[in-house]
Amino acid sequence: MVSRLVTHVNIRDLDFVFVKFMSMSIIPMVAMMACSFPVPNALAQNTDNAAMRIAIEKSLPYLSRESDSWMAERGCVSCHRVSFMIWSHNDAKHRGFEIDDTHLQATINWALTSMLAERDEFGGADTISQMLLGRAPESSWRAKPPRHFKSVDPFEALFEILLDRQRNDGSWPPEGQLSTPAEISTGWALLALNSFGDSSRNPAEILDPQKHLTDELAAQLDRIEQRIPVAIASGRAYLAGVDIHPTNEGLLLRLLRTSTDEPDSRERLLAQLFSRQNPDGGWSNRFDQVESDAYATGQMLYALSRLEALIDRNVVDRGIRFLTQHQQDNGSWQVPATRIRDGPRNESLDEIFSYWGTAWATIGLLHSLPMQD
C-alpha cells in the first residue's frame, strides 16, 4: 500500500493532502527559515572523480529500493532507513546527479506526514537529526503557497520536536537498533540544531516577519530561536562531563563539536582520527575491530568535509579509494552489525547496518566530490 503511494501517486495530489494535513495539524505554522545543508568545497583533488560518481550512481538505486521496501513492510520512518534515503538523494541532486524528483518528493512528504502525525511517538533524536541535516534548500514547502499569505515549513516543527526530546541532563537518548550511549545521539542532535542558524544554509530570500507573519507565528519562531542556544549549551555541558565514546564515531563527533577557538583540542582529535586510518585506506568504527567498514569510512569523509582547512588530502583520497574498491555489485557496502555494536551475529541486523553503511558511504563520497558549476 505504501509502496503504491510512493511510486504511483500523483505528486500534486500528495502535496494537496500534505498541505491539508499541515493546515489541520496541532503543530504551529511557522515561517520560512534556513533549511539546506552545507556545501563544502571538493575534498578529493587527485582521486578519480569518475570512480566516485560510478559508485554513487550504483548506490542510489539500492538506497531508494530498500527504503521503499521498508516503508511498505514497516510503515515507519525510524531506524534511519527513509531519512537516510532522503539525505543521500537530496545531496546527490544538489551535486548534479539525475534523481527521480517526483519519487523523492513523495518520500519526503510521506516521511514528514508520518513524523508530524506521530509527533510524540515516532523514532528519536537520530532520525530527526538526519532529516534536518539532509533537508534540501529547494523544498517546495519553503515556497509561499498559492492563495495564502504565509509560508509553511514543516522542518521548523522537527526542530521543535528535537528540542522537546532533550533530557534534563542535556542529552538526547539513542533509538532503535543502536546500542551506543546518549553521547552519540547528543552529538548528532547538536549538529542538527547548529544547522538552524547557519547562514551558509539559509535560502537566498527570507520572509519579512513584519509582512508575512502573524504575531502568534512570530512569537513561535522567537521561541524556537531562543530555545536552541540554551539546548546547545546544555548538550555541550553534558558532553563535557562524559568521556569520549571509544569508537571512531565518538571521536569525530567530539571533533565536530569543538569550536574554532579550541585549536589544541581540534588538532589532538584530528591526529587521533588520522592515526586510526587502516592500511587499506578505510576506518573501523570500533576500537577492537581491525577491518575497515563503510559505516566508519563514510562518516569520516563527511566529517572531514566540514573541516576542509585542516585536512591532509592524501588521507581523504585513501578513504575514497577504499570505498570505491569495496562496493558490492548491487550498489551496497556490506557492514556486519558486530562491526558497530556488541552482541552475537544476526543476519537481520547485518542487513540494517549494511544499509546504514551504504548510506554513509554515499554521503561521504558525495561530500568529497567537487561541486559542478
- Could you read off the pLDDT of 38-51 as tens digits, one per residue? 334 455 554 578 99
Q: What's the first-to-final CA gap in the chain, in angstroms?
A: 40
According to DSSP, the residues that pair with 283 across neighbouring strands are 293
Instruction: Give Dmax (Cα) for the chain.
Output: 60
The domain segmentation of the chain, as residue ranges, is 2-368
Q: Distance between CA 8 and CA 22 in Å, rounded?
A: 22
**What does the pLDDT average to over 68-88?**
87
Q: Distance between CA 256 and CA 258 in Å, rounded?
A: 6
pLDDT of residue 12: 41
| Other CB atoms within 10 Å distance of the CB of residue 200 | 11
**How is domain 2-368 classified at the CATH fold level?**
Glycosyltransferase (1.50.10)
User: E strand or H helix at 183, and its extent?
Assistant: helix 182-194
Residue 15's identity, in one-letter code, is D
Cβ(21)–Cβ(186) under 8 Å?
no
According to DSSP, the residues that pair with 286 across neighbouring strands are 247
Q: Distance between CA 112 and CA 194 in Å, rounded?
A: 21
> pLDDT higher for 47 or 135?
135
**What does the pLDDT average to over 322-336?**
96
- Report whether pLDDT(249) > 90: yes
According to DSSP, the residues that pair with 205 across neighbouring strands are none
| Other CB atoms within 10 Å distance of the CB of residue 144 | 14
Q: Distance between CA 231 and CA 225 in Å, rounded?
A: 10
Least confident window among 52-61, 139-148, 192-201: 139-148
Output phi, psi for 309, to 5 deg: -65, -20
Nine-digit cell string for 368? 568529497
Question: Helix %, strand %, coil % for the chain, to 5?
Answer: 60, 0, 40
pLDDT of residue 334: 95
> pLDDT higher for 273 or 174?
273
> b vs e for 92-101, b when ≥16 Cβ sit within 10 Å of the residue's Cβ?
bbbbebebee
Q: Distance between CA 58 and CA 328 in Å, rounded?
A: 9
The percentage of residues in the chain with a pLDDT greater than 90, rounded to a whole number, is 49
**What does the pLDDT average to over 335-357?**
82
Nine-digit cell string for 196? 538552524
Q: Distance between CA 128 and CA 27 in Å, rounded?
A: 16
**DSSP 8-class letter at 370:** P
pTM over 0.85: no
CA 216 to chain centre: 30
